Chain A
Amino acid sequence: MSQPKVIRVAGPLVVAAGCWGARMYDMVRVGHLGLVGEIIELREDLAYIQVYEDTTGVGPGEPVVLTGQPLSVELGPGLLGSIYDGIQRPLDLIRAQGGDFVPRGIEVPALDRQKKWTFQPQVSQGDMVQEGDILGLVQETPLIAHRILVPEGVAGQVVTIKEGDFSLDEPVAKIATSQGELALKLYQVWPVRRNRRVKSRLMPDEPLITGQRVLDTLFPLAKGGTACVPGPFGSGKTVVQHQLAKWSDSQIIVFVACGERGNEVADLLLSFPELTDPYSGRPLMERTVIIANTSNMPVAAREASIYTGMTIAEYFRDMGYSVALMADSTSRWAEALREISGRMEEMPGEEGYPAYLASRVAEFYERAGKVICLGSDNREGALSVIGAVSPPGGDLSDPVVQATLKVVKVFWALDDRLANRRHFPAINWLLSYSLYVDNMKHYWEKEVAEEFAGLRQEAIKLLAEEAELLEIARLVGLESLSPRERMVLETARSIREDFLHQNAFHPVDTFSSLRQQYLMLRTIIHFHHLGLAALDKEVDLELIINLPVREAIAKMKYWQDEAELLAVYVQVETEFKKLSQKEGGSSWPEESQVITGKINDEGEADVS
């Protein structure tokens, strides 16, 4: 049999002949430089290979080596705090070997082979174990205990298990399986394009708390849920994703910088070691894995990068952690698919994207979920996936946006008109939705406040009303509106500016606890109710909107102190009381009557 040889090179696509026996999605090494590639199509002895490195200088006749292995990642201690390229090569090692610019054909191990990890067994000799069981622990960072799992498909009796310090290649346990004895190490290898199995899936019912008011209160994402963030350039996709990576209450973050800017990755790398997790006080890097294939890095590796990230995220989910994966931007991944597909001269679908775009997108998001992990202890894990989409011209009819909207449950629509006015996060409150709201209600009632869902509903109603009223005002002028309607406009403005607007770069405002969100919204809505009541008593609108407490309301976002926040609520009451006395009003309604006015529950997320 002849040695496989290159017969054609067209950018990232290489065709090799003589590849009898090669399998789809197997890895290959291309040319004298040994560039990493993956087989994406087979026609008789011809293998179509997408190459993860620049192919300049490669020509027909050069050798191709079939590795017989699918593109895989190494899963084990050492992942946390790492930054990898699209095919799991650590960028720091690449730099150490190759300098400031990424050279080609470099080979570096994904996980450090020298480092010794302290392994604490959780099972004993003689125990029966099955796939997914926790063999033992490695305290990988002060924050995260890396649970060493029995690999999929392995079951049997523990013959030996050792405690102590081990490097990755040393066996730590032996299992007697039906196929004989098997030595287990601290790491496993997994093909990126295959999902990791779970025992069963659950309905997501707990919010992923992000500390971003517009997200947590209006359009919540569930742990194990899926969200997409589409928007034109500069509308705030990356900032939203960075905020989630920084402040969301996930135990593990996998951030896939897919075809975006190098400086944004540098920003993560420089800021994460310095920022601390608001829940544990530890540096964020201790719970984070970054996959970076920037826009100038080879396009095919961009296609692989989101699978690399996803597989790592699944692995931590399997340990029973709550994991969040951010992909910025899935459009670049889709474009990589399109580019390769175009070079293979496949039949194009919409906008030149391959016909299988939608199914690839769906498969990707389906890897999210809240699950019962493999293993006898039935532990729960969750993997939330948040994908940015960058449609041309911000046009939401783009095939990638459309394919994504079919599968995700949360839609955070970024709007450049808001961004241009510097209303951040520029999430359009009329277009966006979350299909998890009903699942969250129980949690909110228990953990936040009985009335929270109602307050939220009222805020949404006011914002929708505002849009209608502004339309009317635009046609016939503001003065045609009744004082009640003007009051609605004032409150809606307050919701937008004092509540929804949130500056990611302000030291305090960048993160808002659910409690703070609740206290803020409650105060704004309370002001609204008292304002309406005052209008009923013929109090002048100008007097209401000029009450000094409004300045305090605007500042609530900068306060975290509970007493301070509560005081504003009291101040609202006092000022309205004074106002009514001045106006000679007599019986002022009691507080309880005002705020418990239950809001009907209809019309979730259908305000579009």
Chain B
Amino acid sequence: MYREYLTVSNIVGPLVIVEKIRDVAYGELVEIESGDGQLRRGTVLDVSTERAIVQVFEGTVGLDIRQSRVRFLGRTQQLGVSPEMLGRIFDGSGRPKDGGPPVIPEKKLDIQGNPINPEARDYPSEFIQTGVSAIDGMNPLVRGQKLPLFSGSGLPHARLAAQIARQATVLGKEEKFAVVFAAMGITFEEAHFFINDFRRTGALERAVLFLNLANEPPIERIATPRLALTCAEYLAFDLEMHVLVIMVDMTFYAEALREISAARKEIPGRRGYPGYLYTDLATIYERAGRLKGKKGSITLIPILTMPEDDKTHPIADLTGYITEGQIMLSRELHRQGIYPPIDVLPSLSRLKDKGIGEGKTRKDHADVLNQLFAAYARGKEARELALILGEAALSDLDRLYLSFSDDFEKRFVRQGEHQTRSIEETLELGWELLRGLPRQELKRIRPEFLDEFYPQEKTPS
């Protein structure tokens, strides 16, 4: 039983204000039927004894005040889930988009979800080999981590994300895994790129896609990542699968949120984004993780394009404050034709420490990683200095570092889009570059590892 009202008083941007309502609850799902019989959905953002403010997912274009019928459905937005979802494509509101039959739900889940009890969390510590050296070697990803790609428009984040989805494995394990893909506001072509890639590699059968494309209603985007994560939680914690969730593009998501905030005339935070953007993003990102005693996991790779490549922009900034590191793509490397253009210095994986080392990757991994960072940073400083004063002004040692950093970018960071490097290969490559530096410069590496790995045949640089 639901209640229907014809008492719309105002329509402001994506919001509809309904008067003289009764028994309406905060967060309740709403259905709006316009004069022409078209149905739209929304949720209650603010409710008092007199009125309710409803955000309309499909937008308010074409809605009118007189004829719109508003029905409060007495429940929150839910997603019906079942194993049949694998291999299917849905729209940004969770309706089939691939021409297939509706999914017969095994159960219905509230898409907001409840926060994971921190007590119930298991600390992520299983190394995921992505086959990409700049990630595996320098900023390793672990199962249950949330690690975004910070990108810019025109950079190959989609190719990199697809490569990760294709190549990611946990060493020595054969397990059930799945990919959940949420698109918010990206173009048809970009979405198509992913679908094709998934199809070609056979990953599509193990994938669930939720697509809200650039020409589809922006407000719907607020639900899309939550649908995807609700599905992921089901796959991970009910069906015991290891789920990789890719969400692109969080920037468009945040813009939808801003649109609503503006329509409500809320006091904006930085650059017009609402003050609660942090909390809102957290309710998405924090759904990644592992649970004690559960086999499955949710690993989350959100992608965002930073306006003007500015990492202090609120979307990137607040994301960085929530996620467990970030992989930063660099326009400069991209210009030099280096794929993947990962700038390892501002990139970071915060969960790496428990995921690497003896028995996980290799005992020298942490030291090699630290040393490569230090040496590359020093080399980049030398490069800057050389730009100002000329290479002649550099000391011999600085020149060594300079050529190290060039090699590092051209040989270590750069690799093929379809090339998988094992962690062994990545570390070996790292040693190869380090051998170009004098041994006493390698302060971050324990002597016993230097004894074991530093000698061997010297490679000409």
A interface list, Cβ under 8 A from B: 7-11, 15, 54-61, 83, 91-92, 94-95, 98-104, 232-234, 257, 259, 261-263, 265-267, 269-270, 292, 294-297, 299, 332, 335, 338-339, 342, 348, 351-352, 390, 392-395, 416, 419-422, 474, 477-479, 497, 503, 505, 551, 554
B279's nearest neighbour on chain A, judged by CB, is: A299
Mark contacts of B112-141 with chain A using CB atoms, 8 A cut-off: 1 yes-contact digit, 0 otherwise.
111111111111100000000000000000
The answer to whether residues A392 and B270 also contact, given A61-B49, A261-B322, A265-B121 and a CB cut-off of 8 A, is yes
Q: Is the CB of B350 within 8 A of A7?
A: no
Q: Is the CB of B278 within 8 A of A422?
A: no
The 3 closest A-B CB pairs, nearest first, are A393-B312, A56-B27, A295-B282
Q: Is the CB of B270 within 8 A of A477?
A: no
Query: B430 within 8 Å of A by Cβ?
Result: no
Q: Is the CB of B312 within 8 A of A95?
A: no
In the bound assembly, the distance between CA atoms of A9 and B24 in angstroms comes to 10
Q: Is the CB of B393 within 8 A of A477?
A: yes
Q: Which of B33-41, B198-206, B369-377 contacts A (4 or more CB under 8 A)?
A: B369-377
B372's nearest neighbour on chain A, judged by CB, is: A422
Query: B102 within 8 Å of A by Cβ?
Result: no
Q: For residue A442, give the distance in angstroms from its CB to the closest CB of chain B.
A: 36
Pick the contact of B123 from A60, A94, A267, A339 — CB < 8 Å? A267
In the bound assembly, the distance between CA atoms of A92 and B286 in angstroms comes to 19
The answer to whether residues A91 and B117 also contact, given A57-B26, A294-B286, A394-B312 and a CB cut-off of 8 A, is yes
Pick the contact of B48 from A7, A92, A103, A352 — CB < 8 Å? A7
In the bound assembly, the distance between CA atoms of A269 and B117 in angstroms comes to 12
Pick the contact of A103 from B114, B321, B377 — CB < 8 Å? B114
The answer to whether residues A421 and B118 also contact, given A60-B47, A296-B287 and a CB cut-off of 8 A, is no
Q: Can you identify 8 A-B contacts, CB atoms within 8 angstroms?
A: A58-B26, A100-B294, A232-B312, A234-B320, A262-B115, A262-B116, A351-B269, A352-B268
Q: For residue A468, give the distance in angstroms from its CB to the closest CB of chain B.
A: 17
B124's nearest neighbour on chain A, judged by CB, is: A263
Q: Is the CB of A56 within 8 A of B76?
A: yes
Q: Is the CB of A61 within 8 A of B117?
A: no
In the bound assembly, the distance between CA atoms of A296 and B289 in angstroms comes to 13
Q: Is the CB of A474 within 8 A of B385?
A: yes
A104's nearest neighbour on chain B, judged by CB, is: B114
By a CB distance below 8 angstroms, the chain A residues around B267 are 342, 348, 352
In the bound assembly, the distance between CA atoms of A335 and B318 in angstroms comes to 12
The answer to whether residues A421 and B278 also contact, given A60-B47, A265-B118, A352-B267 and a CB cut-off of 8 A, is no
Which residues of chain B from 65 to 124 have any CB-CB distance to chain A below 8 Å in the complex? 76, 112-124
By a CB distance below 8 angstroms, the chain B residues around A7 are 48-49
Pick the contact of A60 from B49, B320, B395 — CB < 8 Å? B49
By a CB distance below 8 angstroms, the chain A residues around B121 are 262-263, 265-266
Contact residues on B (Cβ < 8 Å of other chain), bracket: 35 or more
Q: Is the CB of A421 within 8 A of B348?
A: no
The answer to whether residues A261 and B115 also contact, given A392-B317, A422-B374 and a CB cut-off of 8 A, is no
Query: B23 within 8 Å of A by Cβ?
Result: yes
By a CB distance below 8 angstroms, the chain A residues around B309 are none
Query: Binding site of A, secondary structure by majority: helix, strand, loop or mixed?
Result: mixed
Q: Is the CB of B119 within 8 A of A91?
A: yes
Which residues of chain B from 256 to 293 have any CB-CB distance to chain A below 8 Å in the complex? 266-270, 275-276, 278-279, 282-283, 285-287, 289, 291-292
In the bound assembly, the distance between CA atoms of A214 and B262 in angstroms comes to 45
Query: B325 within 8 Å of A by Cβ?
Result: yes
Additional A-B contacts beyond A91-B119, A257-B118, A262-B286 (18; CB < 8 A): A8-B49, A10-B26, A59-B26, A83-B118, A95-B117, A100-B116, A101-B117, A263-B121, A263-B351, A266-B122, A296-B285, A296-B287, A335-B278, A339-B276, A420-B345, A420-B346, A503-B370, A554-B443
Pick the contact of B118 from A232, A262, A554 — CB < 8 Å? A262
Mark contacts of B324-368 with chain A using CB atoms, 8 A cut-off: 1 yes-contact digit, 0 otherwise.
111000000000000000000110101101000000000000100
In the bound assembly, the distance between CA atoms of A528 and B60 in angstroms comes to 73
B293's nearest neighbour on chain A, judged by CB, is: A100
Q: Is the CB of A263 within 8 A of B443?
A: no
Q: Is the CB of A342 within 8 A of B120?
A: no
Query: B240 within 8 Å of A by Cβ?
Result: no
Q: Is the CB of A102 within 8 A of B374?
A: no
Q: Is the CB of B373 within 8 A of A351?
A: no
Q: Is the CB of B312 within 8 A of A58?
A: no
Q: Is the CB of A55 within 8 A of B286?
A: no
In the bound assembly, the distance between CA atoms of A339 and B278 in angstroms comes to 11
In the bound assembly, the distance between CA atoms of A234 and B318 in angstroms comes to 12
The answer to whether residues A392 and B353 also contact, given A59-B23, A335-B278, A420-B377 and a CB cut-off of 8 A, is no
Which residues of chain B from 208 to 238 have any CB-CB distance to chain A below 8 Å in the complex? 237
In the bound assembly, the distance between CA atoms of A232 and B28 in angstroms comes to 37
By a CB distance below 8 angstroms, the chain B residues around A477 are 389, 393
The answer to whether residues A9 and B26 also contact, given A100-B291, A420-B377, A505-B366 and a CB cut-off of 8 A, is yes
By a CB distance below 8 angstroms, the chain B residues around A261 are 286, 322, 324
Q: Is the CB of A9 within 8 A of B119?
A: no
In the bound assembly, the distance between CA atoms of A551 and B314 in angstroms comes to 44
In the bound assembly, the distance between CA atoms of A342 and B266 in angstroms comes to 7
B110's nearest neighbour on chain A, judged by CB, is: A56
Q: Is the CB of A9 within 8 A of B46?
A: yes
Q: For residue A238, give the distance in angstroms from its CB to the closest CB of chain B.
A: 9
Query: B1 within 8 Å of A by Cβ?
Result: no
Q: Is the CB of B393 within 8 A of A296?
A: no
Q: Is the CB of B275 within 8 A of A295?
A: no
In the bound assembly, the distance between CA atoms of A297 and B118 in angstroms comes to 10
B325's nearest neighbour on chain A, judged by CB, is: A234
Query: B440 within 8 Å of A by Cβ?
Result: yes
Q: Is the CB of B312 within 8 A of A392?
A: yes
In the bound assembly, the distance between CA atoms of A336 and B132 in angstroms comes to 39
